[in-house]
Structure formats: C-alpha cells, structure tokens
Structure 1
Amino acid sequence: MNLPRKPGIPHPRLPLPEGQQEDLAVFQQWLSDAIPMVSSLGISEMLRQSDQLTWQLALEPSLNDKGTGFGGALSAQTTLQGWCWVTLWLREQGIARDVVVAEATQRFLAPVTDNYRLVCTPAEPEGSSQLAQQLEERGKGRIALTHQLYCGEMLCLEASGNYAVLPSR
C-alpha cells in the first residue's frame, strides 16, 4: 500500500480475514504502512497461538549509547504489541474497531544485550472472555495485558498495559 501518512487522516483499515486465519505477514505489512515507525522496530516474526502473541525482534534498531536496548524503544514495542494483540483478537471475532492504549507501565530487570522475544498475554486467564462480554453488553471494553521480554532465557523487562476497545463510530 505505502500511502504517505498525514496527521489527522486515518489509515485505511485492513479487510477482516472473513473466517480464515489471519496472515500475520500481511498484517505486519499493513501495520508498517499504518504506523510508519513499525518498519524501524526490528520485528522479524509475529506468532499468534491461542491467547499469546510473540514477536522476535532484532536488537540493532533499538540500540542505545551503551550498546544495549534503549528503554524508550522497548516501551514503544510493548505498547504496540498490546495494541496488536487486541486488534488481532478483534479481527478473529470478525470485529473491526478502534483500539487505544489507556495505561502502560514497564519494569526493566536486566539489560537487553542481544536479539530478543517479546511475549504478550492477557493479565487474567479469563481476560478474552471478559472483553467479549463487555463488547456484547456495552459496545466497548477494556483488557489488561502483560508483556515479558526475554534475551535467551533471561527475563529483561516486564510490562503491563490496559487497552480500550472504543464503541462503533
């Protein structure tokens, strides 16, 4: 697509997958077009299994002056990953809605020194079903998600976010 982005102009939505499994490569390309900074984040792979979204990322685009992961880039990645988790979940339900982050926090545990993986899951096991119920009853909803960033087996960052699904326009 590669449309130039302009402030105040929404990017066209990606068509819903219509009963078939989401092609994450197509979604990632759309995401890069919709949010220009995505192509600079180093996401090499997206994998969705059940209620888990996992990204593999290259460290190089997020290096800081010390040669480790820059906290601001890592924070942006966790926030975006949560947004993607909710958006992909909605798409699986056949719902095209706007999603926004309402709150996000990060806790840095160890330096990120190599390529890494970022794992996003609902904070509560029943988070998805609660979100579905909220959408059915109120036409909008929220879900709390957690993120864990691993370098190899070392947990380097824990993050949490609260994401809102807005009512239909």
Structure 2
Amino acid sequence: MSGYRRDIGEAHPRLPLSESGGEDAPDVFLDWLAEAIPMVRSLGIQQMQRDGDQLIWQLALTPNLNDKGTGFGGALTAQTTLLGWCWTTLWLRRRGILRDVVVATATQRFRAPVTDDYRMICMPAEANASERLAEQLDQKGRGRISLVQQLWCGDTLCLEASGDYVVLAQ
C-alpha cells in the first residue's frame, strides 16, 4: 500500500482479514494504520500489544512535545481516541468481522504532565462490555461499546480518557 494516494472523501482500502483467521500481527496492523491515517506516522507509537482485554501502546514523547517540553494535550487526546478505535477494530477483526467503527463521544482528564516516554492502555469500561457488543451486533447488526484509556508515565497516571465507539451496520 506504500505510495497509495487518495482524495479527500475517498475511503482507504480495508486491511484484509488474516488468512489464518487469527489475530493481526501488530506490525502489519500498524503499517496499514499509518497508510490509512497519515498522522499515525507522527504519533511516536513504538509498540502495540494485547494483554487479555487490554490494548497497550508504548509511545515516544519526543514527537508529541508541546511548547513547555511536556506532552501536547492535542496529540495525547488524538492518541486516546485512536487507541479506542483500534481496540474496537481489532476486537472485530479477531471475530472475522470487517466493519466501520466511529467514535461517538470522547472525554479526557489530564492529571499530571507527561515528561517521558509513556504507555497507553485501553480496555472496556465494564467487565461484560465485549459480550454486550457481540449481542448488539447479532441482534441489531450494529453496536456501541464504552472504553477507557489511561496514559502512564512510569508509575504516574497522567491522563484518563473515555469514549463510546460505534460499530456501524453493513
């Protein structure tokens, strides 16, 4: 997909589901994501991994600095929103579902400055949220899930965010 150019309003081609039917290799998904959403190349994502129901990113602070030498709130907000979108998209892909996902609501609470490389964690807001999303998709063909994101700089919780992500009907 490298070098692919598209016009405003033109959707980027979806990443085909894994032939093995398993999870996407993180580097393959992140490469596709950087093509689909060009600003991803500038976000400093160093690693992506899944741990149970959590999606975790390791990020570099340098590309996200503000004028004070700490994390730029706008970049951090974009990252929390995108991490939730990725959580939902990857959850669908593990189930063999290719569907569009959009963010419906997003909120952030900044608790401390980000002063070094950091990690972001995304997880469902409630223990049974994944099951409810699966039921909604089965019954209505669309669904919504509430996710929370946390940004940790070492042992310090710097940012808490939440968002509702909608899986659109086909």
- TM-score, scaled relative to structure 2: 0.97
**1:69 pairs with 2:71:** yes
2:60 to 58, 61, 67: 58
Q: Secondary structure at the match of 2:164?
A: strand
Instruction: State the SS of the aligned residue for 2:80.
Output: helix
Runs of 4+ deviating beyond 3 Å? none
Instruction: Please state how far the C-alpha of 1:5 moved relative to its aligned partner.
Output: 3.1
Per the alignment, residue 161 of structure 1 pairs with 163
Q: CA RMSD in A?
A: 0.7
Deviation at 1:4? 1.6
Listed as ranges, the matches of 1:1-169 within 5 Å are 1-2=1-2, 3-18=4-19, 19-168=21-170
Q: CA deviation at 1:20?
A: 2.2
Q: Can you give the 5+ residue segments of structure 1 that lack an aligned partner in the other structure?
A: none
> Is the 8 Å Cα contact of residues 5 and 34 (structure 1) preserved in structure 2?
no
Q: Distance in 1 between matches of 2:113 and 2:6?
A: 34
Instruction: Name the CA distance, whole Å, in 2 between partners of 1:157 and 1:60.
Output: 17
How far is 1:158 from its partner? 0.1
CA distance in 1, matches of 2:143, 2:77: 23
Aligned identity (percent) is 65
Matches of 1:44 and 1:6, distance apart in 2: 28
Count of aligned pairs between the two proteins: 168
